[in-house]
Every structure is written in C-alpha cells, then in structure tokens.
Structure 1
C-alpha cells in the first residue's frame, strides 16, 4: 500500500482533545483513550471534508490508553493489521497524524509524516512499542503540552502494516522518541474481542524486516499482473474486435465444481471453497476444463486484494505465475526464487534484489504453477525436485499447481503437503450460466444483426432436450465452441466431439472472413484445407517435441517445408508473409510474448497434429507413443480422421498395448482410449467392437481413483458392460457402485437400483447428488435400508425430498440453506449425526432444537454466519463435536463446555480472536478429548490444564 493509500485510512479525532485515529475496520477507528477524555460521542475530521462526523465509543481501556470508535455515515479502507516479530531494529517505519504544530491557513488540520526506526526491545517490559525518529521533529520546549500534541492515536506503520498507535512523546529525548500501543495488545483484549469479534479475529501479518523499495515495487508488480491476467479471450467472438472479444475475468470467470481426493465421503464443492482451506493444491483437469483460467483469476485478484470472503486469506499475497509451457518453449531451466517474478514475462521492471526471497520467507508468496503436463515425461522428476526444493526452502508458501488428469501419478506431491482436487465437468446449471454470459458478451457487438436473445434461449433449450449435446459441452472451451457454432449456423449443431472440432476449424478458417465480407486479407487467399495443411505442419512438430509454444523462426522453418508442396499458396507470398496471414486471420494462433506463439488451445493443436499423422500414413508412429499420456488426446482425435482400415488398426493397437503392460492403471487408460475411439465410429466391424468390450470388462472393477476416473469417461457406454450384482461381493461390489455413481445421470439410475444389499447403502447414499433427485429416491433410496449410511444432501429439491426418507438418520447437508429451510426439513427427525457444510446463510443453531434429542455427532464446516453456539448445551446426547474453519471465541468454548455428554471435540483450522484460542473453560471436563489442527502451541491457552487430553497438530 503506497503512502497515499495509507493516508486514506487516517483521520483526525476530536474529543476533549484533538488527536489522530486510523480505520482498522470499514467503519471502526482506533485511537488513544486520553484523546477522548470523558466524551462518549467524539467527532472525526477527514481532510477535504467540510464537516466533522459524529462517532460512538464502543470500547475503551484506559490502562492500554486505547479506544475504538464506530462511525455510521462512512465506509473507508482499513489499514492492514500487523505485528512485529523480531528483536532487531526496524528502520523505514512511519507515523501519520495531525499534530498541532502542523497547521495551514491559520488553524486548519494538515496531515504530517514522521519516519524512524522501531526498537522492539526498548519498551518490552512495559509492553510498549517504541519508535526512534530519524531526526528531531521539533525543538525541545518548556510547557505543559508537547508541540506534537494531536499525534496521539496516530497509526504506526511498518511498510503497509499497521503495528500500533502513538500515545506519548516522552520528555528528555529531544522529541526523538514516540511510545506506542502495540496493535497486538489491543486486539488481544478480552472485551475488545467481544465487542468486535470480526476485527479481533483478523489475521495479523508479521513483520520481521523492512525494505522501503519493496512496497512500491509490489504495487507495480500487481498492476502488471492485472494487465496480463485480468482479461481472457472468448472463443468464437473474434469478429467483435479485440476490445469486445477479450473478456474481463470478473465476468468470464465461472467457479466450477471439484472433488477432493482426501474427502471422498462428501460431494463436490465449488473449487473456490476448496482452495480456501487448502494451502497447497494439485489441481487435475481435462483439456479446456478451466485450469489456466483459474490460475489467471487467482493471480490477478490476489495481487489486487479483491478476492471475496471465502478466499480473503489470499488477498495481499504476491502471486508468482510459472507457465510451464513457456519455460519449455524457450528451453529455460526451472526458475530460482530470484527468477520467479520474470517467469510469467510480465511488463514490469526487474525486482529489487532479494525481493522474491523476502516475500517467500515471510509467507506472503502464492506460487501458481500452470501446466505440469507440459513438461516432458523425462523431465517431470526434475520438475518435482525443483518444486519440492522451493517449497522446502520456503515452507509457508501457498501453491496451486495444475496438470492433466493422468499426467502424474496419484500422490505425486503429497510429501510436500499438497491435496489433490479434480475439476468436474460443468453441471447443467453451469452450462446455462456460461451460455448466458457468452451471449451477453456477443451483444457487445454494435453491428451484430442476429437476435442473440432468441439464440441464447434456443441453445439453452437444445441443451435441456439433448443429453448428448450436454455431454459435449461439459468444459468451458467446448461450451464456447458450441455457442459460436450455434450462432454461426443459426441453431444447427454437430453431434460428436470430432465433428465439433472440425466445424470449429471450418468456422475459423473459412466462414469467419466470408461472414465479414473479407475476400483477400493480407493479399492472400487460401482455402480451409490449405490453411489446415500448413497449420498441421506446425502442430505435428510441436506434438513430437512435447511443446505447445513456438518461436517465429521455428514456425518459418515448418512453413517452408509445407509450402514446397503448395505452389498456389507459395505464389502469393513467402513463409514470412504466410505466417503473418495465419497469425492475423486464422483465429487459431495467438502471441504468447513478442516472439513466442501458440495455438489458442492445445486441443486444436492435437486435432491438427492427429490429422497430419493419419494423412501422412504415420499410424505406427502414433502407436509407438501409446504409453505417453500427453499423446492420448492426439490418439483419440486421430480416430475421427481414420478410414475403416486405419480405425481398426488404431483400436487394435491400443488394445495390444494395454495387454502388453503390467501396470493396471496404464492398461485401463489404453482400453478406455480404445473404447472412446470405437464408441463414435461411423463404422467398425463387430469383431473389433467385441474385443473392445471384452478388454474394458477385464479392468472392471477399478483398483484406484485414477482407474475410476478413466472408466467413467466412457459414460453410459460402460453401463451394460458392468458385472451384475449377483456376480459381485465385498470391495468389488462397492467399487462398481462407485463407478455407476461417477457416471451418474438418468441412464445410470436402473443400474444403481439393482444393488439392494445392506452393505450397498453407504455408497448408494453418498451418490444421490449425481442422479436426477426424485427418480433416485423412488428407484434406489426407498428400496434400501439406509441404517448407518450417511445421506449426502445438496440443493433445495433434495432437502425437501428427505420427507420421503424417514430412515435417513445420518445426514451430510451441504450448501446455502437458511435456518427456516433446515428447520422445515429436519424438525421431528430422529437424527443420529449431522454434517452441515459450506453454508453462508444459516445464522444460528435454533433449528437443532427440533431434531437434536438423539443427535450424537455434529460437524459444522465453514458455516461462517453462525455466531452463537449456546444452543449446543441442549443437545443432551451429543458426544462428538467437530468445528472446521469456524470462528471460535472464548464464549464459544464456554458454551461447548456446557454440553453434558461431550467426549470428543475437534477444531480444524479455527478462526480465533487475536490469534489465540482459549481452552481454559474445558479444564474440568475430565473425560473430554480435544484435538486442535492448524494452530501452534503458543496460540492455544489452557494447554497445561488439559494435559494429555489435548492433541495439537500443525
């Protein structure tokens, strides 16, 4: 935060004396108590404002000499709270305030600024923060009042962190010293925490060192990130021109659903919610699933401090974006800490020496590693070693790394503290939201003559009526392709994935210029096929080299080879002119940096490379790469280009490669790939189809999560191949149910309904969210004994359908439901356990009064609106309470201590006032076991009283 930004948080306080104050909440101001005197309604004055504003004193402590004011008529940007975490002097600190000596135009207030060094050890005994000014502020004077009077309550900043407020300038030191109240003492005060728990629970940023140039550079760096990552291209809207076709990510970003490998019992959540509680994430996702868009969105908003409440802990962190494809294209090594700021090729000056290291050492770094699958397989262990070493060196660094689903083995980064998330295909509601946003952007075109509202409505209806179309549009990329083709063709759409890409290329390479009445752009005219032939040369070279980016020189070399066989095109210009034409007109190539280019999406690169392999009769070369995951999309897309003979050779080759490996996961991938190639073939002989089904059947059921995800790619095709319940037992039975759940949808309901054994209840109850809600109740859940099985509930329809499931006594309810919603659905139900997750609407626990008589276990996970836990004392049978990412005050702990039969309490990453958790009220509960995860020993009070009944985990 620059000085101008810091100054905006400073006000003059007018009590019995004139002093200074600083915003620490949007409407709360902290100042010195002695400034107020006996006044209960002081005023504040802001420079440039005509009239002072009246405030209310909501807390004061004369021993600390601190007070908190509330102003109702104004919202302001609060200062960033911090604390000194070193014994060494901190130079470069500053105080901003309104001393009486600083006046203009007779007696009007003016802000003044004082710089100096904070001496952490100087006032340690008195718990006072001391600052030594760089030079005397005023001459030493006799008299009862200091010439710096009015500075009382002024904020003391270390960099952009508020660490205290000035309270006194002691005599005898030439006005060189200012004694301050540490902010830590204010927010730790028990009454302060009770009055303003939200401010009290704000995480303090610790200051160990100051480098004055860092703050200004971080602003420039954040601006550069915003310029690079705040806008994204919208596929299919190129004709709108650059301004309209580049969409602000605030509008374009769609928070998709993801699942956590470590929390498979619960259903999917929005990826933003999952990232909030996981400092390190390996994010897996298919091509076009939105991985890079997520990285861009995080980088731009974290740097600007504009992430919402769920991800507020990331605000102010410094993102370092490492696009692996760029490193690969430029032949660079993995970046050292000092090289991280330059990895993304931002338009910003070089960082101050040591800046990145200081950011990482302070725990303020957000490392965003995009595209680990872009690293060649032989270099991936080197990539792993680089990332592991970097994070071992800077253990407080948060990190998100993205990768294709099968590019690295499961638990590849587990030792470094990563949790694995997998982006899920878009649900129907997500698709509808995307369609509305896409057409909203299309309406920016002032020259568009289509009825875009009618097109939008028609496409939404087509998705509703046509399940196969929905299956095609489950990723943001493919959904955008469908929107563009639907607009171009006035409602007519291709029916297969391969036809979708082929139509997109026709649109980009031919129809686009025709539609805009451009006949000979750049003086060059080429057919769609001529465009493709040249682009294929570049694409196949990239695939062979394991790259996605290329330089101008590399492209020219490939074009020279291609133009040798295209005399009509060559007559229109040399390779340089043709490359310029392709960059300007094809819509398929885009610049990455000044001299580095890439396809608009890797899928189009793989599609064109596959076409080149088939047309050049290079099937054997393709099949030599069957064991390399980054080639699998090329192999799959090649099926659409194959003749009958070629397709049979491709499918048989994949089956043979699968049979030849001992690795069951690899075998599963290859058999699934063979089935996907066969699934949409226009014609394939029956014997080959039989071989495919036999191969797939041999790897069912799955043995690990990666095989589960692989098999589920086959969708409804797989369902008739699955073994019947009569042929299954034990784990195999559960695994087949999990596979049916993963496929989901209306087609899978009868297959799930065939399982009715008692042990089937657990996996069937967990999978409800994957099926049409009412059909699954009627055909599955009402036919089994739910018994001890936890039923996962999301969405209002499923909550209302609980009335049809009286035997469901173990519920896992996720999403925003009000207290009234929950009371209506749960009242009178004899619940044994309840998990309430990710609910921002419910404000209290009153709804438990109607269902808590037999409740033994309660989990509250990220329900931030709940402010009072006292109703828990009425849960007479509750013996296990689990609070995850919840605010926990001393009053909350006292309420917990009143639960009569509580035996187990778990607190995961609790949000605690003043960075402290006081467990003292639990000391007399001799049979209670307490587990606290995410806090250090120094943050937990009352440890000694609990003894070995307390378990702490970092």
Structure 2
C-alpha cells in the first residue's frame, strides 16, 4: 500500500488528540518574547515542563502504528514483533524533536514532508533491521504525524498572533521602504535640473589623475570606475570597505594620511550616486543628491564658508544659476543630500573651529542627510565631532593584495607589459623599505612610474623617490616627448624648482592649499628679476602659464585658482625652500601645527648635518618647555629620524629617549601618532609582561600601533601578544593578516590565537591554506573575493560552524551545504537567493558571537538596502 493511502486512512479525529499530548499547553499572549519558539521548548516529554513520561511517548507511538496498521490491513501482513519495532522507531524519531535546532516557524515553512525527513535524518538507526513493509509503515506514520504536528503549530494562538505580528512588521518595513523610495524621488519640477546636475557630477569627478601615466604612451587620466581601488576603513571595533562607511551610518569623520585616497573615495561616492548604476552594496545611495565641498577651494583667499544655496556656485558648477528656487532646501529637508566635505586639514588651524560650527549648524538644520568629512589624522583631535553623532574611522594602509592590484592596473593602463609589473612586485616584497613606502595609492603610483621610467631601478628612501619624481616631471617629460618648438619657453630644471618652491612655501606660510592665480603671478613677478635668463623669455603671466601646463606639478582646479597635483609635493618643495632660506626658527615655531608636520620631516631630509642637528634639538627643547604641545613635538622629532641620513648619535639618543617616555600609548590617537614615527618605534614598544595588568587598554593600543606599521619588522612585536585573551587584541591581530607575509605571520601569530568568539578573516586562498594547515578554525569571515569552487577546494570543511560572509561570491548559496557542522551564517551582503541556504543553517543579520565589527552594512530600511535576511 502506498504511504499516501496509509496517511489518508488515519483519521484526524484519531491522530490529532494523540499528537496534541506531545506538546505542553500554551500560555496567553502573542509569544513575542521568545520569537520564534524552538520546537524543543514545546515538548511535553522533556524539559522542566515535562508532563509526559517515556512510557507515555511509546504508548502514543504504539497507538499511532496500531491505528495505521488496523485501518489499512497492514496488521495482517506484519507480525506483532515488527509492529512493535515500528512503534519503537516512530518513538525514537519523535524524541529527536528534543535535539533539533529548529523553531516552529521553520518547521511550518519546511512543510510536513521535509520536517519528517529531517526527523528521520536525526534518528537514522531507528529502522535498522526492519523489513521493507515495516519501513514503509514507519515512514507513513511519521509523515502523517508530522502533518498533524505542523498543523498543530499553526493552530496555536501564540503562533497565529506572532505570525500576524511578524506579517505586520514586514508590511510596515515594506511601507517604510516604499515611502523612502518615494521620498527620494525628485518632484517633476526638480527632476530635469537634477538630471543635468547628475551628468555634471559624473563628468566632473568621473576621471582620476594617476601619477606617472602621462609619462608612458597612455593618457594621464583614468576613468574612475577602472581606477578606483576599494580600500578599507577601520575603527576601534570596525573593519569594512571604505565605500560602505555611510551604509549603516549617516555621519562619518574619515581620517587618512596624505595620498591615502580620501579625495578619490569622495569622487567615487559622488559619481556612483549621480550615475544611479548601483550594485547591491551601494543601494543605500539610491536617490541621493551629492554635494562635493572641497574646503581648500571654498576657503581660498579667506572666503567665508558657503550656505547651502551657495554649494554649487562656490565650487564653480556651471549650471548653479539654473537650480530651481528652493531646490537645495527641498533636497536637504527630505534627507536626500549626500554632503561630502573634503579636507578639514586643508584649512588653517585657526579657522577649523569656525568650520566645525559651520558644519554643526548645517547638521542641526538638515539632520536627516548623510555626511562624510575627511581629514589628515593629526588635523583634528579624537572625538572632534562625536558630540554630533559622527563616527570616526581611519583609512587603512593598502594591504599586499591592494598593492598587487594597483600595480597590475597601473601597468595595464600604461600599456606596459606584465613583466614590469611582476618585477616591481618582486622588488616590493624583497625590500622592506620599499614595501613600507608603497602603502597608499600616491606612493604606489610614484613607485610604478619611477620603476618604468628608470627601467627597473628604484631609489631607496622617500626623499630620493621624490627627487627622482620631480626630475622626471620637470625636465625629462618634455625632452623625451619632443614637445619643444622654436620660440617656446624653455626653463631648466633648477630654475623650475626654484620658482615652484617659492609658490609652495608661500602657500604653506599662509596655511593654504590653493592660491589665487593673481597672487601666483605677482609672486613670480617678484622672483623673476633674480633669474634674468628666465625673465627674458616671457612675462610673469606667460611664465605662470608655462609652469601650469608643462611642469606636471601644478594645475588649475577652478578658474582663477592654482594648486599642486598633490599636497605632498607642496610640502616637499616648501620644505626645500625653508631650508634654503635658513628658516629653522620659523619651522620650529610652527612645528606644533599639523599642516607643518610633513614640511618639518622633509626639512630634516633636505637639511645638511648641522642644520639637521639644529632642527631636531630645537624640536626637543621646545617640546621639553611646552606642557601642552610637548608630546606632539617629541613624537614629530622621532618621526623625523627616518629622514636623518646623517645625525649626531647623542642627538638621536635624546630624540628616542623622549619618544620612549610616551610609550605605551593610552588612546587610539596616540597609537596613530606613534605609528607615524615609523619602524623605529617598534624597538620601543613593550611586551604584555611590561604593561600593568590593570591597564588592558594600553596593551590594545600598543598592538594598534604595531599593526599600523605595515612592515614585516612588526611581526615579532605582534607575536608577543598572540596569547592575550582580550578579544579586541585578537581581533586586531587577525584583521591585519593580509598586510604581512602570509606564511610567516600565519605561523608566528595566527596559529596561536585563541578561536573563542573570534572570526578569522580570509581574503585569499593562501590564507585559507595556512588555516587548513593549522587544523581550520570554527569561525571564518570571508573578506576576499572567492568563487564557491575555490573556497570549497581549499577550505577545511569540517571545522567551520560559523561563517561571516562579507563578499558575495555570486550565484546561489547551495555550496554552504558542503559544511556538515555549519550552524550560523551571518550575511553582510544582500541575500537575493536566500531559499538556497540550507534550512539547517541559521541565517542572521548580525553575528551570533560578540562582533568583530560594529555591525552590518545597513541597519535600517532607511538605507533602501536588502541586507539582513
């Protein structure tokens, strides 16, 4: 007889009362506290609320089997001992409900057949020794019982109430999502202007100047969608892709060193928003209107910061006058604004409090928008904007994989063969000093350009790299490209440097990153009489035009303004001018200002032996005399040591002794400042045994310092902390794996970290292989791009029981079923094919263990994101 026929002949009036006895009586209410309810908590034959004995359970099973056998005639075909064996098997399978990790809602969603199959899988030995007819009876009885069990769940008032509440919540969430989409749709009157404005943003910011590309047989401009390299943003407990920092947050202050990609990130967010061609990760930008506000431009010449109605006109947007009346207010009041404020550090320190008040007034007036503010790390103190609900994050140094990707893209864009890229990567991996320099996009581009230009030869230090880059830009580019024509202005490299460094030093002394064209021409007018061979070739205006067009260092970002292609070159040449002018007292007097930090470092590099001694002893002495600025000045002096090629040993000892007194660091800000000192600070950092046990934060900040120094010389220091139980320390040690040599760091650090509550991030197959060699880990965070086939081929399948999926591998999620012990998957990506996730896996929107980051990429339906399955 078919199983379906057996089930059909078991009357509900007989089965339902028997099934009901398996479960405890429900209490009143909607069951919202424990939502949903685990099946094991509903059973009457186990747990604290037990009302049914083991004997009773077997009695119910015997009754079900007897009724089925009697009503179908099977009783005549099976002997009594086999019917008793079937009853035992049914009882064993029903008892398995106590051990399954499943909620009532999941059971109902599975359906009675799949639920019965799941119970059978939990008690595979129940049918051992049974004949085919007996197994058939067992399957049929269990299927029928599960039909009534699932039906019983749906009839419980708490289930019904809870389901109604859940449906109401989903309807409300959907309504909010729809309302948000409607709110982000411009009015018909504004839509045409917004379309034109979006086209302007995409055109204005959709290209990126990559240093050195114009020296090869390729354009010096890269399309942004090709050039953009996704870096990471980090905080005390946060590590996520930088383009996701506004997904779960509405206000962020992002710090990053010069050349780290802050401005490029702003361009990427603006263009992505304007083009509306968003992938799943960027859906939170849908319908927003970007406003790019570079403070260097807005404050040029001491100008007052703009009001919202002036946002477009002050950045010289050519269609600013066409915006409909009140448009800016409608956009910002509806929360559709994406306000990108670039470069707090680009304005004088004396003006920053005013900029902060300006920002606070804007946020208070239009609080519902998204705000991103960028700065160099030392320009604003910790918690500068936390009172206004700004999260504070840092752009991380480029990982080894980031560097390899950048080098490959640069050479591809330059039309240079792969061999150069491979040779350069071998050099970066072999030379620690070079690897330490190539940790941000600007320095990577410099190194790529010089490696190609010099046929594989690379200078050793930072100053040498800048000198070579300037020579390449100022003299070789025109000569090698054959640009010179009869009668054209021709200025030698030495004169070019003298003229440009005068402009740079004027900008530094006046706290500016942009200069009015008229001021630049007047400054050249004063300088040219001392250079008759240059002056006779043209007027100050013509010489200025030559510098902008031919030097490769200057540009005109807007009409009537001039700046350097990057602030780093301004600081470097300004420092050279200061040393040549013997302005050492002036340098020391301004050393406490963050805008002068790189100038001071480069001044030490440019200075001769006695000049260098004067600078460093002056910094130490001023630091000793200043209680307020002492720490900053002593750390700056220590950071200058890497540029001091020749220095009195006594002076070096004095500088290092002052730095040692500031260790261990007591805050993230101090850790950041110490890391800026460079590898020399590694010898000064203490081990955990030297830190008082009542100061766990100092141990964490010490580790934070060492992980920011992206050189393998930091590995022995970090290995000292590998046995520390502090989850913050273990998380930080695991997080930075991809910055170091994979095998060495894996053996000396990763292999020794306690796995308790710790998700081990894996960003490439090398790391997966290392973990497999160590026996795997129970919690993995997939933070690199793997195909499911790659991941399954390399990963140890037995060990993971929790996965954190940060990167969507594409396709369905059926590959998760290959992990037999998998319990929980935390998705940090939209799961559009959630039905393919194995039902035995708990799918959640936030980690089941203490998190290693601050949360998901989206925390509300406000984000118009499908995150959080």
**TM-score normalised by the shorter chain: which range applies?**
0.7 to 0.9
Q: CA-to-partner distance for each residue in 1:582-603, whole Å, 9 max, x for gaps? A: 1222111111222111111111
Q: CA-to-partner distance for each residue in 1:267-312, whole Å, 9 max, x for gaps? A: x432123343332221211111111122122222211212322112
Task: Determine the structure 2 residue equivalent to 1:883.
Answer: 845
Task: Determine the structure 2 residue equivalent to 1:941.
Answer: none
Q: CA contact under 8 A between 1:551 and 1:597: conserved in structure 2?
A: yes
Task: Determine the structure 2 residue equivalent to 1:649.
Answer: 614
Pairwise CA distance, 1:654: 2.3
Structure 1 counterpart of 2:532, from 567, 570, 575: 567
Q: Secondary structure at the match of 1:422?
A: strand
Residues 399 and 564 of structure 1: CA distance in aligned 2, closer, same or farther (over 3 Å): same
1:796 to 2:800 alignment = no
Task: Determine the structure 2 residue equivalent to 1:583.
Answer: 548
CA-based RMSD of the aligned residues comes to: 3.7
Pairwise CA distance, 1:325: 0.6
Q: CA contact under 8 A between 2:248 and 2:863: conserved in structure 1?
A: no
C-alpha distance in 2 between matches for 1:202 and 1:815:
33
Residues 695 and 535 of structure 1: CA distance in aligned 2, closer, same or farther (over 3 Å): same
Q: CA contact under 8 A between 2:463 and 2:605: conserved in structure 1?
A: yes
1:255 to 2:230 alignment = yes
Q: CA-to-partner distance for each residue in 1:701-734, whole Å, 9 max, x for gaps? A: 1111111122223443222222344423322444
1:231 to 2:201 alignment = no
1:468 to 2:433 alignment = yes
C-alpha distance in 1 between matches for 2:542 and 2:529:
15
C-alpha distance in 1 between matches for 2:185 and 2:703:
56
Structure 1 counterpart of 2:704, from 738, 743, 748: 738
Task: Determine the structure 1 residue equivalent to 2:162.
Answer: none
Pairwise CA distance, 1:400: 1.5
Pairwise CA distance, 1:698: 1.1
Residues 321 and 780 of structure 1: CA distance in aligned 2, closer, same or farther (over 3 Å): closer
Which of structures 1 and 2 has the larger relative contact order (alpha carbons within 8 angstroms, sep 6+)?
2
- The equivalences for 1:76-87 within 5 A come to none
Q: CA-to-partner distance for each residue in 1:792-821, whole Å, 9 max, x for gaps? A: 444333334333445954555534456673
Task: Determine the structure 1 residue equivalent to 2:381.
Answer: 409
Q: CA contact under 8 A between 1:822 and 1:847: conserved in structure 2?
A: no
Q: CA contact under 8 A between 1:884 and 1:909: conserved in structure 2?
A: no
Q: Which runs of 5+ in 1 are unaligned?
A: 1-187, 444-450, 876-880, 886-895, 897-905, 918-932, 936-954
Task: Determine the structure 2 residue equivalent to 1:345.
Answer: 316
Task: Determine the structure 2 residue equivalent to 1:328.
Answer: 299
Q: CA contact under 8 A between 2:783 and 2:806: conserved in structure 1?
A: yes
Task: Determine the structure 2 residue equivalent to 1:691.
Answer: 654
Q: CA contact under 8 A between 1:626 and 1:657: conserved in structure 2?
A: no
C-alpha distance in 1 between matches for 2:331 and 2:729:
45
Task: Determine the structure 1 residue equivalent to 2:565.
Answer: 600
C-alpha distance in 2 between matches for 1:621 and 1:728:
39
Task: Determine the structure 2 residue equivalent to 1:390.
Answer: 362
Q: Secondary structure at the match of 1:720?
A: helix
C-alpha distance in 2 between matches for 1:817 and 1:258:
21
Q: Secondary structure at the match of 2:378?
A: coil
Residues 785 and 861 of structure 1: CA distance in aligned 2, closer, same or farther (over 3 Å): closer
Q: CA contact under 8 A between 1:539 and 1:608: conserved in structure 2?
A: yes
Task: Determine the structure 1 residue equivalent to 2:279.
Answer: 308
Residues 668 and 255 of structure 1: CA distance in aligned 2, closer, same or farther (over 3 Å): farther
Q: CA contact under 8 A between 1:257 and 1:269: conserved in structure 2?
A: yes
Residues 721 and 742 of structure 1: CA distance in aligned 2, closer, same or farther (over 3 Å): same
Which is worse superposed, 530-539 or 777-786?
A: 777-786
Q: CA-to-partner distance for each residue in 1:498-543, whole Å, 9 max, x for gaps? A: 1111111111111112212345676332221111111122111111
Task: Determine the structure 2 residue equivalent to 1:439.
Answer: 411
1:361 to 2:323 alignment = no
Q: CA contact under 8 A between 1:823 and 1:850: conserved in structure 2?
A: no
Pairwise CA distance, 1:404: 0.9
1:862 to 2:820 alignment = no
Q: CA contact under 8 A between 1:762 and 1:786: conserved in structure 2?
A: no
Q: Secondary structure at the match of 1:396?
A: coil
Residues 794 and 865 of structure 1: CA distance in aligned 2, closer, same or farther (over 3 Å): farther
Q: CA contact under 8 A between 2:408 and 2:421: conserved in structure 1?
A: yes
Task: Determine the structure 2 residue equivalent to 1:39.
Answer: none
Task: Determine the structure 2 residue equivalent to 1:705.
Answer: 668
Pairwise CA distance, 1:838: 4.2
Pairwise CA distance, 1:356: 0.7
Q: Secondary structure at the match of 1:702?
A: coil
Q: CA contact under 8 A between 1:327 and 1:334: conserved in structure 2?
A: yes
C-alpha distance in 2 between matches for 1:677 and 1:914:
45
Q: CA contact under 8 A between 1:322 and 1:340: conserved in structure 2?
A: yes
Pairwise CA distance, 1:408: 0.8
C-alpha distance in 1 between matches for 2:862 and 2:209:
43
1:660 to 2:625 alignment = yes
Pairwise CA distance, 1:748: 2.4
Task: Determine the structure 1 residue equivalent to 2:719.
Answer: 753
C-alpha distance in 2 between matches for 1:916 and 1:272:
14
Pairwise CA distance, 1:618: 0.4
Task: Determine the structure 1 residue equivalent to 2:288.
Answer: 317
Q: Secondary structure at the match of 2:557?
A: strand
1:780 to 2:780 alignment = no
Q: Which runs of 5+ in 2 are unaligned?
A: 1-164, 849-854
1:505 to 2:467 alignment = no
Q: Secondary structure at the match of 1:484?
A: helix
C-alpha distance in 2 between matches for 1:392 and 1:498:
45
C-alpha distance in 1 between matches for 2:176 and 2:840:
25
Residues 909 and 777 of structure 1: CA distance in aligned 2, closer, same or farther (over 3 Å): closer
Q: CA-to-partner distance for each residue in 1:406-429, whole Å, 9 max, x for gaps? A: 111122222333222211222222
When you count strand as a share of all residues, which structure comes out higher?
1
C-alpha distance in 2 between matches for 1:914 and 1:506:
49
Q: Secondary structure at the match of 1:547?
A: coil
C-alpha distance in 2 between matches for 1:608 and 1:313:
42
Pairwise CA distance, 1:256: 1.6
Q: Secondary structure at the match of 1:526?
A: coil
State the aligned residue count.
Answer: 689
Which is worse superposed, 219-228 or 769-778?
A: 769-778
C-alpha distance in 1 between matches for 2:351 and 2:680:
36
Q: Secondary structure at the match of 1:244?
A: coil
Task: Determine the structure 2 residue equivalent to 1:638.
Answer: 603
Residues 411 and 452 of structure 1: CA distance in aligned 2, closer, same or farther (over 3 Å): same
Pairwise CA distance, 1:257: 2.1
Task: Determine the structure 2 residue equivalent to 1:181.
Answer: none
Q: CA contact under 8 A between 2:247 and 2:863: conserved in structure 1?
A: no
Q: Secondary structure at the match of 2:638?
A: helix
1:272 to 2:243 alignment = yes
- The equivalences for 1:844-863 within 5 A come to 844=813, 847=816, 850=819, 852=821, 859-862=826-829
Q: CA-to-partner distance for each residue in 1:831-876, whole Å, 9 max, x for gaps? A: 5x654434454844874795658x6x8744335356149856677x
Q: CA contact under 8 A between 1:882 and 1:907: conserved in structure 2?
A: no
Q: CA contact under 8 A between 1:366 and 1:398: conserved in structure 2?
A: yes
